[in-house]
């Protein structure tokens, strides 16, 4: 069973892609919804507010990895909608949820996605927590509880930087999901976040502040982009959306531009690096009008 983290608010488009590409056994959108009465929650703000989909599929790991609209893919361990937020009892609840989780299925799924095989007695891991909302405990305490329960069950060694397995708990107010991250752990560039999305079509793929490729894909789906369309992005920044468009479709003309010379140069370097064999890009720079420049 997969736990998919996706762009909040566009889960319906993610579901469309999943159903069109995979053999779905079951699919549940479990993103937190706005509470009509106090306490109110900012359901669109924060890392933990990310959209969440639980998926069971007969499709292969390789087919799941080909999904364009997914930010992160995990093997589901646990889910709860009633975590105590006002005392340390919430931490114990999370730990107990992990104790009762179906680890055999999750570890089997992780092995199907692992980029390099590791013998069971040599696996190293770390526990991580992504948390938003008010709680009587912090993320470090939760991560420590995760680590304690995993060591208790498997005896795996702990390594916070060179690990094989990352057990992730995502907590949003009283809502919790947990899973094993299925991304390559070597791609995690910041010590407190999940692995970054693959940016294979982008020249500076280590630059993580650009638009997410999954967001670019969903924007194109929302615009009902289809084969043969011309994509024009006149304020493209460093060109992520047009380049991703070319990568997604493998056919088309994409024009991009921006006021900054540096940004235009980045866009051009990306065009030269794009893996799309048939896409064509034109890059331009806007002249800055006097009325604009005096306010810069």
Judge whether 199 lies within some domain: no
Same-domain status, 76 and 142: yes
At residue 93, the pLDDT reads 97
At residue 208, the pLDDT reads 52
At residue 295, the pLDDT reads 32
Same-domain status, 170 and 42: yes
| Each residue's pLDDT tens digit, 81-127 | 999 999 999 999 999 999 999 999 999 999 999 988 899 999 999 99
Same-domain status, 181 and 118: yes
At residue 68, the pLDDT reads 93
| Each residue's pLDDT tens digit, 239-254 | 778 777 777 776 556 6
Judge whether 237 lies within some domain: yes
Same-domain status, 157 and 283: no
The runs of H, that is alpha helices, within 78-194 are: 89-99, 103-113, 139-154
At residue 278, the pLDDT reads 44
Same-domain status, 227 and 172: no
pLDDT band at 296 (very low <50, low <70, confident <90, very high): very low
Same-domain status, 84 and 39: yes
Same-domain status, 180 and 250: no
DSSP string over 221-253: HHTT--TT-EEEETT-TTTHHHHHHHHHHSSEE
At residue 40, the pLDDT reads 75
The domain containing residue 64 runs over which residues? 2-187
Mean pLDDT of 190-197: 63
* Distance, first Cα to last Cα, the chain: 51
Q: Return the CATH number at 164.
A: 3.30.2130.30
pLDDT band at 46 (very low <50, low <70, confident <90, very high): confident
At residue 29, the pLDDT reads 96
Beta-bridge partners for 284: 257
Same-domain status, 84 and 160: yes
Instruction: State the CB neighbour count (10 A cutoff) for residue 56.
Output: 13
Residue 227 burial (CB < 10 Å; 0-12/13-18/19+)?
exposed
> Alpha-carbon distance 76 to 96, whole Å?
15
* Domain end (from 187, 203, 231): 187
Query: Would the pLDDT of 144 be above 60?
Result: yes
* Domain end (from 152, 187, 222): 187
- What's the number of domains the chain is made of? 2
Judge whether 92 lies within some domain: yes
Same-domain status, 101 and 151: yes
Query: Would the pLDDT of 288 be above 50?
Result: no
Q: Return the CATH number at 220.
A: 3.40.50.150
Same-domain status, 170 and 248: no
* Domain end (from 146, 171, 187): 187
> How does the average pLDDT of the chain come out, rounded?
82
| Each residue's pLDDT tens digit, 209-235 | 568 889 989 998 998 877 777 777 777
The owner of tokens 């003309």 is 253
pLDDT band at 21 (very low <50, low <70, confident <90, very high): very high
């Amino acid at each position: 069973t997969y736990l998919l983290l996706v762009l909040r608010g566009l889960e319906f488009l993610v579901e469309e892609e999943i159903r069109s590409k995979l053999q779905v056994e079951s699919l549940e959108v479990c993103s937190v919804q706005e509470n009509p009465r106090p306490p109110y929650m900012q359901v669109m703000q924060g890392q933990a507010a990310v959209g969440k989909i639980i998926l069971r599929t007969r499709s292969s790991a390789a087919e799941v990895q080909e999904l364009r609209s997914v930010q992160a893919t995990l093997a589901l361990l646990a889910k709860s909608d009633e975590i105590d937020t006002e005392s340390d009892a919430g931490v114990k609840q999370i730990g107990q949820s992990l104790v009762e989780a179906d680890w055999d299925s999750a570890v089997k799924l992780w092995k199907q996605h692992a980029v390099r095989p590791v013998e069971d007695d040599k696996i190293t891991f770390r526990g991580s927590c992504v948390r938003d909302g008010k709680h009587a405990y912090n993320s470090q305490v939760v991560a420590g509880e995760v680590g304690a329960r995993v060591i208790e069950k498997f005896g795996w060694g702990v390594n916070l930087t060179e690990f094989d397995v990352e057990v992730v708990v995502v907590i949003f107010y009283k809502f919790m999901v947990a899973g094993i991250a299925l991304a390559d752990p070597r791609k995690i560039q910041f010590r407190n976040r999940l692995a970054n999305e693959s940016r294979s079509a982008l020249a500076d793929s280590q630059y993580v502040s650009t638009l997410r490729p999954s967001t670019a894909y969903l924007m194109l789906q929302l615009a009902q982009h289809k084969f043969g369309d011309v994509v024009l992005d006149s304020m493209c920044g460093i060109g992520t959306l047009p380049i991703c468009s070319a990568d997604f479709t493998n056919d088309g003309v994409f024009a991009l531009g921006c006021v900054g010379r540096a940004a235009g140069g980045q866009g051009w370097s990306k065009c030269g690096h794009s893996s799309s064999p048939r896409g064509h890009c034109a890059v331009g720079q806007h002249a800055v009008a006097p009325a604009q420049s005096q306010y810069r």
